[in-house]
Amino acid sequence: MNTMRTGLLMAALMGLFLAVGYLLGREQGMFIAFLMAAGMNVFAYWNADKMVLRMHGARQVDRQTAPEFYQLIEDLSQRAGLPMPKVYIMDNPQPNAFATGRNPENAAVAATTGLLRLLTPDEIAGVMAHELAHVRNRDTLVMTMTATIAGAISMLANFGMLFGGNRDRNNPLGVVGIILMVVLAPLAAMLVQMAISRTREYGADRGGAEISGQPMALASALAKISGAARQIVNPAAEANPATAHMFIINPLSGMRMDNLFSTHPDPGKRIAELQRIAAEMGETDAVDAGPWEAAQHQRSGPWG
């Protein structure tokens, strides 16, 4: 069901992009929009993972430089039936993590030093299992493509504002229509991107619980890091808000308009869903969804 919903939302996003192109230049504009989308997605397919890792200052680690963390990823990858991904650590006090890569054979997972310091080993395993579930579900490619198309819609709408208007007789909108399009098209694209991201997060939570075998450890991790992420600023994410949807928890502080519409489901709802999954799996430990204050005494991260 989630796969079908994601496919429909991606089709809607692509349709919106083509519609903007048509409104700006009729058939020719739609064709140019299609070529732009194709070109940008090809570039993103081959290069987005490297760009995102570089944006967030991630450094690659191996068995010698981070033995415990590397071994954890190797064990979880085997349980998930995945090839061993590249492993990165970001020198960042905010606890968070993400996965990237165009397919499981070219995947990478990254965690912040803040996450490795704050969480227990079981909680770290739950978080990284969540990220490996994204890799297994090929969410990393889906979210790269949606971010690329959403960004292209904004760019195309701004292009129409600069060069459209009543000077072009083929333009069915006119100046007022173009102004409305500049505002509404990126907003609609953002809402569709947000819906896709939220759908994939719930799926990765379930997949992470299955891979790690400890849904309540993942729930406990979400409870801790959701509050910490609101209090600890992530400068790299603030500078690159288009990458926020990739993280397990929204890394934006909320001080910018970029955080007006969150790309992540409410942590409390995710924890409640993980509690239901835990009941299905026979795990009954409770988790306090109060994120930060209740977790202060548990600052027992082993690898920071």
Residue 104, C-beta contacts closer than 8 angstroms, at least 6 positions apart: 82, 83, 85, 135, 136, 138
Contact 56, 110 (CB under 8 A): yes
Among positive and negative, which fits the CA dihedral 130, 118, 235, 61? negative
CB-based contact 246:100 (threshold 8 Å): yes
Q: For residues 216 and 271, what is the distance between their CA atoms, to the nearest angstrom?
A: 8
Q: How many Å apart are CA 120 and CA 113, to the nearest integer?
A: 13
Selection from 28, 54, 161 nearest residue 110 by Cα: 54
Beta pairing partners, 226: none
Supply the residues annotated as catalytic. 131
Tokens matching residue 240: 């690159």
A 10 A CB-CB count for 63 gives: 12
